[in-house]
Structure 1
Amino acid sequence: MTAVDRCSESTRDWVCNAIRLIEADANRSADTHLLSFPLPAQWNVELYLKDESTHPTGSLKHRLARSLFLYALCNGWIVEGTPVIEASSGSTAVSEAYFARMLGLPFIAVMPSTTSAEKVELIERQGGACHFIDEPSQIYEESRRLAAKLDGHFIDQFTNAERATDWRGNNNIAESIFDQMAWETHPEPLWIVVGAGTGGTSATIGRYVRYRRLHTRLAVVDPENSVFFDAWRDDEPDLTSCAGSRIEGIGRPRVEPSFIGEVIDRMIKVPDAASLATIRTVERVLGRRVGGSTGTNLWGAFQLVAEMKADGCAGSVVTLLCDGGERYAHTYFDDAWLAAHDLDLAPYQRVLETFLTTGDWLY
């Protein structure tokens, strides 16, 4: 489409209506719940889960997808008929396919061939198409190639996540957390714990905490085969890896442009088996299944709770319930899949059972 076409009255009308549709969808949606995780009262520590699975597309990435579409529309990158391309391991693509269908746009998700069948089905159910690659490190170049070939727009969550979200407020996830914590016993959490996929969520929360002059600290958990932890610890922003993360939605083989390490107070490396042991252990506590990235979050949150208890420090910790476990029935909750990936959960389950019983972190 030419520059003249992009400035035409009909194009402006289409973009205005597209933004209206997205804003109307947000206006129809209630905020996500903040759930209290049961811990013994004598510990004097409260743990909360921000349940992002209640979004219309079932995950934390719904917020990101909305912001990315608004950002692209307002920058003039998406107009009527523009094919939208994304590099995604699943949940972002599910949410973006939802918004693309709302606007009548074609959507293609470029993803590793190992992505769970449940997520592929969810993307296709939203009207999106899936384009698989075998080498995770090629996901970016393949997305750019497809966008150029189709005269489309590579929406690029990994670059634009921290730019597209208004970190000062506008009902972002940080503002929502603190609003919902207002009437709790310890309304200003000592820690907020999140994972990093794009880095957008940690950037938003870290900036918001500083902007509001809060004393809350930000901990970021990182799974195996991800470079965020090592790059942050060693101050090596150019660090890369050839492996892809087994915990879908978090962990990257490179430090993404949206990852702002300077706003992070602490990082915790979490073994994949620990993440998956956590989701199986807490299923009994919550009465529901959660996804692998929630397990990573909770493993880190439990460690911080144990440290607070050991130090006699009363307060609260907040983390995210990123998506539901039904998306991983044939992977994380499948014993055969665990055996095929040589994942032994037993040592980590013992750590968790000790923690949930005594509050001690013996790892």
Structure 2
Amino acid sequence: MNIPIYSFLHIFSLITILANTNSARIANDPDVELLRHEMRMFWEGMAHLLAKGETLYPDRDYTLQFELDYTNHGRRIVRQTLVSTDEIRKLTEQREDGKTHTSILWMHGDPEVVDRVVMKNQEHDAEHYAGPMFPLFWVFLPDGRPLHVHLNEGATIERLETDNLYLIKSMRKRVELPLLITVDRDRDWLPRKIVIGDEETVIEVTDFGLDNGRWFPIKGQGSSKKTDDDGQIVRGREQFSFSVSGFQFNTPIDPNDYSIDLGTLHDGVLVSNETTGEEFIVGENQDRTRIYEQFSPDLPLNPRIEGINTEGIDIFRKPQNDSTIRWIALVIVFIVAICVVGAFTWRSRSAVMNR
């Protein structure tokens, strides 16, 4: 039986068309549930991350040093140090232990001495973070959420044509800006590129490292610009780069590391609890002067007492309970009543004398 040659060509063409159609379907319509499951498994396998490094801003006069201690069950420490060209450091730290969020502000003159502690209820769960962010943190946890959470909250995903990359189209939570995340399936679903808004910020990973069988971004670069609500540029585009000097996965976790022991603080540290409204100064003397004189002696007296790291809170105000406040109010009312009665009596006597 003779089969015309064109029949073989026709069959081959059909097979090619079907293969291309299937390839296009895989590229543009991936199995979202499978990918979501993979992302979640990688995230849950990362029980604990320790990382440190720095972000360089060539157009600024400082470097941002960062330390990250992050668990996937709601405990985290984010520490940032601004190192300027004249070596003056300003250090802030955020700690969350799963229940309490603690902000620690440090002395200008000594970044190892606590100046003020602010505590409140931890508002976000293990899969949502809303504290300070920096470029590496954005790559590790875009907009404070793992990738599978982005998909759970309405993001879409499509496969790109090269290198097993996927594009996640999401939105920022706190501001209505598009968020494009290009992720690498071969690098434990870590982002290779992040674009926020109309390229207000662009972050690209240039190198990955490996520890304990897991990948992590160790070098990157990017740029950012600042615009107002009308889209007008407030600050022109500036370049930055980041590098990681060390990272470890799944080291032992000490739950006590994520809270602060108030008993270890120096006298003079201001402690504020925004949940209870309580505020006090550590030490029997309730005095902030000595701690500034000891650790920030180069600062002028008035700013060191009235303005440094207090964010407008009266640092000399002591906590007062409700009974104290009511007693003060009664005294004020009593004094006002005496004044009114005295004024009325004086007017009455004056009227009698004038008759």
TM over 0.5, shorter chain: no
TM-score (ref. length: structure 2):
0.24
TM-score (ref. length: structure 1):
0.24
Higher helix fraction (1 or 2)? 1
The higher radius of gyration belongs to 2
